[in-house]
Structure 1
Amino acid sequence: MRVDILGITVDTYSMQETVDQIRQAVEGQIPMRVVTANPEMIFASERNARLKKLINSADIVTADGIGVVWAARRLGAQVMERVTGIDLVHGLFPIAHVGKWRIFFLGGKPGVAEQAANQVVLMNDGISWDAMHGYFSAKEEPKILEKIQNFQPDVLLVGLGAPRQEYWIAEHPGLATVSIGVGGSFDALAGIVVRAPKSIQDLHIEWLYRLWKEPWRWKRQAVLPQFVIKVLRQGFRRKTP
């Protein structure tokens, strides 16, 4: 099931259902592209037809953030929980360990992807991995593509930031069975960025914690009130005969 939020069709899968869908894709060697859609990305797609088409053509579009969960519920869909990039990969790693998956980490500053992968395999040593930072030029890109192709990953995690990572994945299909845009997840996996305490996550105000820790994010967060207004308008239009 999917729900239309400002023209973006978001899946109503729970975290476990999303993990199961990806597991089945890897085990069946079924190509899959996953977009973790947050309010900022959905809002931006209203003025970017290419981005909207790209997101809606993904195999899975998750509700990345409590704002998207709220919007879905407001529009009548039963979305039980958010499915963020960082939580999704944490859900996948134990399964990848058991299944001995091959995972490629692409993105972040030099050294961060490697650090993230090393931290992951401390607890999930059944995973085979390779990594490359995201600060590459167009001239360097062919070598990166060759590196990924030679590694033959089951899962390609791309942390180039949205929407660059979404464009990049769509422009380079076939590099892995499953490709997922994970934003800044590598910083969290590497321990460079510390996530909000579980109590704050449970209160659904992790965004506020991140804003406190990273004040420069206010420009991104500024779209949230506009997102809310547009969702309320969409709901009103649906109810108006």
Structure 2
Amino acid sequence: MKQTAKVMGVTFSKDTLAGTVKTIIGHLDKKDADYMHIITCNPEIVMASAHDEELRNILGDAGLVTADGIGIVLASRWLGDPLPERVTGFDILMGLLEEGGRKGYSFYLFGADPETNAKAAEVISAKYPGLRIAGRQHGYYKPEEEGRIIGEIAAAKPDILVVALGAPRAERWLYRNRAKLPVRAAMGVGGSLDVIAGKVKRAPVIWQKMNLEWLYRLLSEPSRWRRQLVLPKFAVRALFSRGRS
């Protein structure tokens, strides 16, 4: 059975959330595991990649790309090669933290504002005492500080590098610095640290099950409306791309 599906030029894993976490854990447990870049791709990234060569290269070189958005899943069904479900960055991170607590993995938290970064590290350490926070760095840094940050990550050698710089900034940062990062897995997690720290509430489970988390976030954060304008454009492009993917 084919393990991937292509949606508008981007190749997605057909793994479920549970399967995705299992795949990443399997990679982490290899003695000779090299760098694995995990990307949770939403419609915005798909649309941007159509006219951004670097972003296309990033997606093409990633070790794993998941469908972070119901729009991606619906488009895959329309295109005749369905993905099983939405696999979000937050849910993957929660799965990795759970496993990390059992297996003793080390994490480096990079991104978010200083207070959120510190609080997220505190919450994670308290909830998953079996894992280790190898280091952390907020995302409000000056360009000239980047070398120091990369050096700190390299010295910490975490199993998993968690980057909360927003998408696709996190993906670009990881791609450009991949040769300098001695980590087993790295992924951008969007606003996940904000949720963990309690700064932002995630949509209630009923909204998630109805695939309306995007609407809940829009209602909770009206300033996001400009970002949502890409969704109808994505839908139209998916409609007319049938037979060409």
Which residue is equivalent to 1:2? 4
Q: Are positions 1:191 and 2:198 aligned together?
A: yes
Q: Are positions 1:12 and 2:14 aligned together?
A: yes
Which one of 162, 169, 172 corresponds to residue 167 of structure 1?
A: 172
8 A Cα contact 2:37 2:63, kept in partner: yes
Q: Is the deviation greater in 64-73 or in 202-211?
A: 64-73
Distance in 2, Cα, partners of 1:144 & 1:17: 32
Which residue is equivalent to 2:145? 140
Q: Are positions 1:233 and 2:240 aligned together?
A: yes
Distance in 1, Cα, partners of 2:240 & 2:203: 32
TM superposition shift of 1:236: 5.1
AA aligned to 2:125 is: V
8 A Cα contact 2:110 2:137, kept in partner: yes
* 1:78 alignment partner, SS class: coil
AA aligned to 2:117 is: A
Q: Are positions 1:223 and 2:223 aligned together?
A: no
AA aligned to 1:5 is: V
In percent, how many aligned pairs have the same letter?
Answer: 37
8 A Cα contact 1:39 1:68, kept in partner: yes
8 A Cα contact 1:63 1:84, kept in partner: yes
Distance in 1, Cα, partners of 2:34 & 2:87: 21
Distance in 2, Cα, partners of 1:175 & 1:71: 36
Distance in 2, Cα, partners of 1:86 & 1:218: 21
Which residue is equivalent to 1:35? 39
TM superposition shift of 1:78: 3.1
* 1:136 alignment partner, SS class: coil
What RMSD over aligned residues (CA atoms) do the two structures have, in Å?
1.2
**How far does the alpha carbon of each residue in 1:46-97 deviate from its partner, in whole angstroms, 9 at most, with x for none?**
1111111111210100000111111112112232211111111011111101
The alignment's TM-score, normalised by the length of structure 2, stands at 0.94
Q: How does 1:1-241 map to 2 (within 5 A)?
A: 1-28=3-30, 29-129=33-133, 130-173=135-178, 174-235=181-242, 237=244
TM superposition shift of 1:175: 3.3
Distance in 1, Cα, partners of 2:61 & 2:207: 33
Distance in 2, Cα, partners of 1:69 & 1:118: 34
TM superposition shift of 1:30: 3.3
Query: How many residues end up aligned between the 2 structures?
Result: 238
The alignment's TM-score, normalised by the length of structure 1, stands at 0.95
**How far does the alpha carbon of each residue in 1:19-68 deviate from its partner, in whole angstroms, 9 at most, with x for none?**
01110111112321111100111111111111111112101000001111
8 A Cα contact 2:35 2:182, kept in partner: no
8 A Cα contact 2:5 2:82, kept in partner: no
**How far does the alpha carbon of each residue in 1:200-237 deviate from its partner, in whole angstroms, 9 at most, with x for none?**
11111010010001111111100100100101101155
Q: Is the deviation greater in 208-217 or in 141-150?
A: 141-150
Which consecutive residues of structure 2, in runs of 5 or more, have no partner in the other structure? Answer: none
Distance in 2, Cα, partners of 1:35 & 1:237: 24
Which consecutive residues of structure 1, in runs of 5 or more, have no partner in the other structure? Answer: none
